[in-house]
A and B are shown apart, each in its own frame.
Chain A
Amino acid sequence: MNNISARNKSEKRFQMYGKTAVLIAIGFLVILLFNIFSTGISAFKQTYIAVNLEIPADFDKKNINPRTELNKHFLKMFPEATTRTERRALLSLLSKGARYEFSELINQNKERSIQGYHWFLASADLDMYIKGTVKRQGDTAGRIDENQMFFIDKLLSKNLIELQANKYLLSSADSREPEMAGIRGAIIGSLYSILIAFLVSFPIAVMAAVYLEKIASKNKFSDLIETNINNLAAVPSIVFGLLGLAIFLNFFELPRSAPLVGGLTLALMTLPTIVIASRAAIKSVPPSIEEAAIGLGASKVQTIFGFTLPLAMPGILTGTIIGIAQAIGETAPLLMIGMVAFVVDVPGSPLDASTALPVQIYLWADSPERAFTERTSAAIMVLLGFLILLNLTAIYLRKKLEKKW
C-alpha cells in the first residue's frame, strides 16, 4: 500500500497538533501567572526615608501640627535647600502618610524624648524610582525632576532610603495615595459577602437538592425545576447583578454597596452550583444503606438526615467550596449593586458600604498611576492565594471522601 507512509505522516502531524495545543494552553497559564507575580512582588515592599528627629521629652506634644513638625526636622537635615522650589522638592519626597506615622510616633512616646533616625513613608513617585519601575534618564526619572533627584541622590548616598515591608497593603483600606493604599477593606468586604452568600445559599441549596433527589416524584414539575436550575447555572453573572439591583436595592431598599446585598446576590449565583453538586453527591450514596435504615423502621426524613446527608456531605462540601471559589472572584454583579464606590474605611459590619477584593482590583487596574499597577498585581496574588487555599481544601476533602468508600 503506498498510502501508508502518507497516513503515518498524517498521524504524526495530528499528534503534534494535540501536543502543541496542550503546551500552548499551559504556556498561557504560565505567562499569565509569571506576569502577575513579577509585577506584584515589588508591592510587598515599600520605600521609607529616614528622618533625624530631635524632640525633647518635655516638648508640647498636644498642639503640634504633625506635618509641619515633621517637615521641620526633614528640612533641618538639608540646610542646602534654600529656595522655595528646592524645599518643596525635598518635602515632596515624603508621603502624606508620613504625617500620620509621625503622630503615632508622638502618641507612643508621650513622656519620652524622640531622638535619632526614624523611618517614614516615602511618596509613590520615589517608590517607583527606587523599585526600578521608573527608570532614570539623566537627572530625571518619570515625574521626578532634577531638584528632587538631587536630594534623592544625597539621601541614597547616606543610606537614608530603604525598602521595607509594606505594612499598608494588608492593614489599611483604599486610599488616593498609592503608597498608603491597602486591601484590608476589600478583604473584609469580600469576607462578609462570602459569609452571607454561604449562609443563605448553602441550606437552601442542600434542601432543594435533597428534595429533588429523594422526595419529589419524577413528574413534569420536578423536570421544570431541574431545567430551571441547569439554566440558572449558565446565566451570565451580570444578569444576577441586575437582579440584585432590581430586587435588593430597589424593592427591598437595602443599603447600597453593602456586603449584605453583595452576599445575597452572590448567594443567588452560587445556588445552582451547589444544588447540582449536592445532587451528584446524594445520588452517589449507595441505596443499600438507606434500605437498611428504612428496614429498621426509620422514616424517610430520618434516613435522609441521619444517613444519606452525612455520607454525602464531603461531596456536598467539595461542590460548595468550588461554588464559593467562583463567587469570590466575581466582579460584575458586585459592580451592579454598587460595591464599586471609593471607600476609605474598613467596613465594621455587613451593612456598611464597602468594596470587595475583585472590585478593588478592577478599580486599581483602571488607575493611570504606575504605582497602582504593582498593587493591583499584589492584590491579585492575595486573591489567587485565597483561591488556591480553597481549592486545596476541596481536593483534600475529595481525597478524604474516597477513603470512606
Chain B
Amino acid sequence: MTVFLLILISSLAVYGFILNKSKASVMSDTNIMHSQPHYHGLYSAFITLVPAILLLFFWSFIVNMITNITLKDFFSDITDTGLIKFYTDGVIGYAEGATDKIINHAGFMPAVEHYQALQHNNKILQFIVISTLSLMLFRYSLKFVEVEFKARDYIERVIVIVMRASAVFAIFVTIGIVLSLLLETLRFFDSVNVFDFLFGLHWSPQMAIRADQVGSSGSFGAVPVFTGTLLIAFIAMTVATPIGMFSAIYLSQYASENIRSYAKPIIEILAGIPTVVYGFFAVITVAPFFRDMGAFFSFTNMSSESALIAGSVLGIMIIPFVASLTDDALTAVPRSLKEGSLAMGATLSETTKKVIIPASFHGIVGSFLLAVSRAIGETMIVVMAAGFAANLTFNPFDSVSTVTVQIVGLLTGDQEFNSPKTLSAFALAFVLFFITLVLNVISLTIVKKYREEYE
C-alpha cells in the first residue's frame, strides 16, 4: 500500500514537472521570464512531493508509537520492559507473517488481531489523506506559472537550506557522540561511584556479573586501564618520534628533490595500511621476534602479548603521521631564515637545530600531540597484540590492556544492555573521547598560534 502511495505521488510530481515546464516554455517564447522553464517544473514537483512525504514520515512515526503503546496494554501484567518488548515484537512478527511462533500468553492473539485491524485502517486512511493532499497541492502549484514568478529563487533558497542543513549536520554528529556517550556514562555512575572508577586500582568487570557484586567489589577501577593505555602510547611515541622526526628533517632539508619525491610517498604508505594488518603483523612476526630476542638474552618468560609488542607496532604505524606533520612544520619556515643562517657559516645541521626547529617548534609540538592522540585512540593493533588483562604495571614486558581494548571486549559477545558491565564501556569511551578532544584542541590552538607568528 505504502509503495503504491509513493508511486502515485511521485508520478504526480513528475507530471507536474512536465506540465509546468511546458507551460513555462510556451510563455518564454513571447516573454522574458525571470526563471527558466525547468525551474517552474521543479517548483511544481517540489510542492507536490515534499509536503506529502514529510506528512507520510510523521504519520508513520506517530502510528508506530501508537501501535507500540496500545500493544503494551495487552501485556499489562508483565513488569519487565525487556520481556514486554519481546512479546510485542513477537506479536508484530506473527501478524506480519514473518514467523509462526505463538507466544503463550492470554493477550497474544487479541493483540495480534488489534494490530492487524490497526494496520488495515491506518493504511486506508493514510492513502486517502496523503494522496488527496498531494493532489490538491498539485492543482495549486499549476497556478504559479507566471512570467514574473520567481521559481528559481524559491528553488535556490531550498537548495541553500539543504546545504546549510548538511553543514549543521556535522554539529549534530558531535552532539550525537557526546549525548550517546554521556547518557550511558551517567547511567553507569548510578551504579558505580565516579571516584572508584577514576581512581580505583582494580579492573575486572567480567567478574562482576552477579548483581550483588556490582560497585561493592570495586572491580571498576579504571586506573590499570589508563596506565596500560599510557604505557603503550609512551612506547609507541618512543619508537615513532625519533624515526619520524629525523626522516622529516632529512627529507625536507637534506634530500634532493628526486629522493624526496620517492621516499615521502613510500613512507606515507605506512599510514595507508589498515590497522588490523598491523595487528596481524604484530602477532605473526613481532611477537616471535621479541620472544626469540628474549630467549637470546635469557629472558625466558616473555609473554606473547606485551606492552612492548603492541607499543612498537603502534609506533611503526604512527611514524608517517609524525613525519608528515613535522615535515609540514619544517617546510613552513621561511627560506630566508635558512639562508640567513647558512650565510653566517652555520652547517646545515646547526641551521636545522638552532634556527629551523626552534622556529617551527609550535608546529612540531602540535604534531606530537596529534600523534599521541592517535596512539591513544588506536584499537585494532592493541586488541590483537596486547591483552585483555588489565594489569597495573609500568613494565613493558608485561601484558597490559588499554581503554580501547576493554571497550571492544565489553561490547562484543553477549550483551545485556544496561548492565554496569556494558555501561562501563561507555564510561571508558567518554573518557577516551574527552582526552583525545582535549589533545586535539590544544594541538590545533598551538599550531594556530605559531602560524600567526608568521603572519
Please report A residues at the B interface, Cβ cutoff 8 Å: 7-8, 10-11, 13-15, 17-22, 24-26, 28-29, 31-32, 35-36, 39, 203-205, 207-208, 210-212, 215-216, 222, 224-225, 228-232, 234-240, 242-243, 245-247, 250, 268, 271-272, 275, 299-302, 325-326, 328-332, 335-336, 338, 340, 358-359, 361-362, 365-366, 373, 376-377, 380, 383-384, 387, 391
Is A25 touching B323 in the complex (CB atoms < 8 A)? yes
**Stretch from B119-127, B193-201, B240-248 at the A interface:** B240-248
Chain B residues closer than 8 Å to A35, beta-carbon distance: 281, 284-285
B287 within 8 A of A: no
Please report B residues at the A interface, Cβ cutoff 8 Å: 152, 156, 159-160, 162-164, 166-171, 173-174, 176-177, 180-181, 184, 242-247, 249-251, 253-255, 263, 266-267, 269-270, 272-281, 283-285, 316, 319-320, 323, 347-350, 352-353, 370, 373-374, 376-380, 383-384, 404, 407-408, 411-412, 417, 425-426, 429, 432-433, 436-437, 440-441, 444
What are 28 A-B pairs with beta-carbon distances under 8 A? Answer: A8-B347, A14-B353, A18-B254, A21-B242, A21-B247, A29-B266, A32-B316, A211-B160, A215-B163, A232-B174, A234-B370, A235-B436, A236-B436, A238-B408, A242-B426, A299-B152, A300-B156, A329-B276, A329-B277, A331-B274, A331-B275, A331-B380, A332-B380, A336-B407, A340-B412, A365-B276, A384-B273, A391-B272
Is B319 touching A28 in the complex (CB atoms < 8 A)? yes
A193 to B61, CA, bound (A): 26
Chain A residues closer than 8 Å to B272, beta-carbon distance: 325-326, 329, 387, 391
A225 to B172, CA, bound (A): 10
Is A380 touching B166 in the complex (CB atoms < 8 A)? no
A236 to B382, CA, bound (A): 14
Q: List the B residue with the shortest CB-CB distance to A7.
A: B347
Most buried by A among B249, B273, B283, B323: B273
**Contact (A10, B411) CB under 8 Å given A236-B376, A238-B377, A239-B432:** no
- How many A-B contacts are there with CB distance less than 8 Å? 252
Shortest B93–chain A CB gap in Å is 13
Pick the contact of A25 from B163, B166, B247, B408 — CB < 8 Å?
A: B247
Is A242 touching B247 in the complex (CB atoms < 8 A)? no
Is B407 touching A365 in the complex (CB atoms < 8 A)? no
Shortest B450–chain A CB gap in Å is 16
Chain B residues closer than 8 Å to A18, beta-carbon distance: 246-247, 249-251, 253-254
A211 to B169, CA, bound (A): 12
A22 to B433, CA, bound (A): 33
Chain B residues closer than 8 Å to A238, beta-carbon distance: 377, 379, 404, 407-408, 429, 432
Can you add 15 more A-B contacts, CB < 8 Å, to A225-B171, A236-B376?
A: A21-B246, A25-B243, A25-B319, A208-B170, A228-B171, A234-B374, A235-B437, A326-B272, A332-B275, A332-B380, A336-B407, A338-B412, A358-B274, A384-B277, A387-B272
**Contact (A242, B276) CB under 8 Å given A11-B348, A235-B436, A365-B384:** no
Shortest A186–chain B CB gap in Å is 12
Interface SS of A by simple majority: helix
Q: List the B residue with the shortest CB-CB distance to A391.
A: B272
Is A26 touching B267 in the complex (CB atoms < 8 A)? yes
Chain B residues closer than 8 Å to A10, beta-carbon distance: 347, 349-350
Pick the contact of A376 from B244, B280, B404 — CB < 8 Å?
A: B280
Is A245 touching B384 in the complex (CB atoms < 8 A)? no
**Contact (A22, B377) CB under 8 Å given A247-B176, A387-B272:** no
A380 to B380, CA, bound (A): 14
Chain B residues closer than 8 Å to A250, beta-carbon distance: 417
Chain B residues closer than 8 Å to A373, beta-carbon distance: 284
Most buried by B among A235, A359, A384: A235
Shortest B356–chain A CB gap in Å is 12
Is A211 touching B164 in the complex (CB atoms < 8 A)? yes
Q: List the A residue with the shortest CB-CB distance to B172.
A: A228
Is B277 touching A246 in the complex (CB atoms < 8 A)? no
Shortest B377–chain A CB gap in Å is 3
**Contact (A7, B350) CB under 8 Å given A340-B412, A373-B284:** yes
Chain B residues closer than 8 Å to A15, beta-carbon distance: 250, 254, 348-349
Pick the contact of B163 from A208, A336, A359 — CB < 8 Å?
A: A208
**10 smallest A-B Cβ distances: which pairs?**
A236-B377, A329-B274, A18-B250, A21-B246, A246-B180, A14-B349, A207-B166, A211-B163, A332-B379, A208-B166
A232 to B171, CA, bound (A): 9
**Contact (A232, B280) CB under 8 Å given A11-B347, A15-B250, A237-B379:** no
Chain B residues closer than 8 Å to A31, beta-carbon distance: 285
Chain B residues closer than 8 Å to A7, beta-carbon distance: 347, 350
Is B349 touching A11 in the complex (CB atoms < 8 A)? yes
Is A208 touching B169 in the complex (CB atoms < 8 A)? yes
Shortest A252–chain B CB gap in Å is 11
Chain A residues closer than 8 Å to B426, beta-carbon distance: 242
Chain A residues closer than 8 Å to B437, beta-carbon distance: 231, 235
Chain B residues closer than 8 Å to A25, beta-carbon distance: 243-244, 247, 267, 270, 319-320, 323
Is B270 touching A225 in the complex (CB atoms < 8 A)? no
**Contact (A358, B246) CB under 8 Å given A7-B350, A238-B407:** no
Pick the contact of B436 from A234, A271, A391 — CB < 8 Å?
A: A234
A230 to B370, CA, bound (A): 12
Pick the contact of A361 from B168, B276, B407 — CB < 8 Å?
A: B276
A275 to B279, CA, bound (A): 30
Is B350 touching A32 in the complex (CB atoms < 8 A)? no
Q: List the B residue with the shortest CB-CB distance to A358.
A: B276
Is A242 touching B407 in the complex (CB atoms < 8 A)? yes
Shortest A204–chain B CB gap in Å is 5
Pick the contact of B167 from A225, A232, A235 — CB < 8 Å?
A: A225
Q: List the B residue with the shortest CB-CB distance to A22.
A: B247
A272 to B166, CA, bound (A): 12
**Contact (A246, B184) CB under 8 Å given A224-B171, A383-B277:** yes
Chain B residues closer than 8 Å to A14, beta-carbon distance: 348-349, 352-353
Is A242 touching B277 in the complex (CB atoms < 8 A)? no
Q: List the A residue with the shortest CB-CB distance to B408.
A: A335
A8 to B349, CA, bound (A): 9
Q: List the A residue with the shortest CB-CB distance to B350.
A: A7
Most buried by A among B167, B181, B270: B167
Chain A residues closer than 8 Å to B407, beta-carbon distance: 238, 242, 336
Chain B residues closer than 8 Å to A326, beta-carbon distance: 272
Pick the contact of B173 from A29, A271, A366 — CB < 8 Å?
A: A271
A335 to B160, CA, bound (A): 37
Pick the contact of B174 from A231, A325, A330 — CB < 8 Å?
A: A231
**Contact (A211, B166) CB under 8 Å given A238-B377, A376-B280:** yes
A179 to B232, CA, bound (A): 36
Shortest A196–chain B CB gap in Å is 16
A328 to B244, CA, bound (A): 26
A359 to B377, CA, bound (A): 18
Q: List the A residue with the shortest CB-CB distance to B180.
A: A246
Is B163 touching A235 in the complex (CB atoms < 8 A)? no
Most buried by B among A28, A39, A384: A28
Is B180 touching A242 in the complex (CB atoms < 8 A)? yes
Pick the contact of A22 from B176, B251, B349 — CB < 8 Å?
A: B251
